[in-house]
Structures are given as C-alpha cells and as structure tokens.
Amino acid sequence: MTLRLIISAATKMALGIAIILLLLLLPAGTWVYNGAWRFLILLFIPMLIMGIVMLIFSPELLRRRLQSKEKRTTQQGVVRYSALIFSFGFVVAGLDFRYGWSALPDWAVYTASALFIVGYALYGEVMRENVWLSRNITVESKQEVISTGLYGVVRHPMYLATVIMFLSIPFVLGSLWAVIPFVLYIPVIAIRILDEEQLLHKELKGYTEYCAKVRWRLIPFIW
C-alpha cells in the first residue's frame, strides 16, 4: 500500500512538472524564464513536503488526494474547464515573456509569491483539519461534518486557498495578460461549490444544519 502510494504520488508529480514546463517554456522559447522556475519551486517543494507528511501521518488522506476521477457530470466538466483555463494561462504567460507584452515590478512578483505561500499554508491547514478531504466529490460512509477552525469561518476553505493561489500565479509568472484566463477560475470554482453542496445536503448528515450555522461559502460577508 505504502509503496503504491509513493509510486502514484511520484508519478503524478513528475508528470505535473513535465506538463507545466512544456506549457511555459515552449511558448517562452527559452529555458531562461525565471518566472516559470520560480513558480515550479513555489508549487512543488511545498507539495513534496506535504506529501511526505501525509505519507507518514495520514496515508489514507494522501490516497484520497491522489484520486482524481469524478463521477458527477458537473464535476467532470469543472475538471476539464479548469485544465483548459490553466493550460491557456500558462501558454499566454510564456508568450508574454517571449514577446514582452507586459512587465511587472519586482515588488508585485514578490508580493504574489508571498500570497501564493499564504494560500498554500491555508491549504495545508485545511488538510490538517479535515481528514475526509478528497480530491473528487464524494461522501464516505463514516464521514462527519467538520465545523471547527477554518470551517467555522467559511464552508469551503480549501477552495478559498486555491483561489488565493491561482490568482497569484500570473503575477508569480510575471504576466499581466495571463490574469485574464486565470480569473475564469472563479466562476468555475463557484459551479463546483454549488454542485458539491447539492451532494453534501443530500448525503452528509448534519451538513444542512452546518450551513445554517456557517453562512458564507467562500468569502466572508460576500458569498
């Protein structure tokens, strides 16, 4: 079981690195694209650390996080559109670097990098709080509602973390034009949340009462 988890996690990480490098460096036309390497470091080093921690302390959580096959039609569409958005965003960022369409000051790049790490830290805290956290939308037989910590503030803190991270990406890459495709992640994640809540209301005991207690889905006082 542990060996399979390690192989699966390592394979997916290696594949992710390869795909992102292709999507960024081929359009950029060079290996010397500092924004691309900066992003890879910010993304995969924390991912590696979190993966090792989960493997040691919560291998079942790691197993859930490696599952990616969605059963619900809406969620399958969300996954496809998300992949399209990010692919297009990376290509735009690479072309932006290649042709010099936009330029960002260093402080903006460093601020975005810090925000990306903040989002990652929130993501890690969510995984610490919720042992039922799966990558695909499902409800397990013994699953319980989590209502403490970040879940006492918003219903979907993991998605809040991803919004912070993903909206930081174009600035980390140094591309203003890439902001346009990455902003499209917001309506896509909203659709994911609404569809997920339909399932949770129906199948997760206590979720309706939890929603009455915690009003905000993603951003306090907004939505």
Of the two residues 133 and 212, the one the predictor is more confident about is 212
Q: What is the mean pLDDT of residues 182-211?
A: 92
> In the CATH scheme, what architecture does the domain 2-213 have?
Up-down Bundle (1.20)
Q: What is the secondary structure of the chain as a DSSP string?
A: -HHHHHHHHHHHHHHHHHHHHHHHHHHHTSS--HHHHHHHHHHHHHHHHHHHHHHHH-HHHHHHHH-----SHHHHHHHHHHHHHHHHHHHHHHHHHHHT-----HHHHHHHHHHHHHHHHHHHHHHHH-TT--SS----TT-----SGGGGT-S-HHHHHHHHHHHHHHHHTT-STTHHHHHTHHHHHHHHHHHHHHHHHHHSTTHHHHHHH---SSSTTT-
Q: What is the pLDDT of residue 56?
A: 82
Per-residue confidence (pLDDT) for residue 91, from 0 to 100: 97
pLDDT band of 203, cuts 50, 70, 90: confident
What's the pLDDT at 62? 73
What whole-number distance in Å separates Cα of residue 56 and Cα of residue 117? 23
Lowest mean pLDDT of 60-74, 141-155, 168-182, name the range. Answer: 60-74
Joined tokens for residue 56: 């040691």
Q: Dump pLDDT digits (tens) for 76-118.
A: 888 889 999 999 999 999 999 999 999 899 999 999 999 999 9
pLDDT tens string 6-55: 788 788 889 999 999 999 999 999 999 999 999 999 999 998 888 888 78
Domain map (residue ranges) of the chain: 2-213
pTM of the entire predicted model: 0.88
Burial of 214: CB neighbours in 10 Å, binned 0-12, 13-18, 19+? middle
Question: Could you tell me the CA-to-CA distances from 18 to 15, 112, 143 in Å, in that order?
Answer: 5, 23, 35
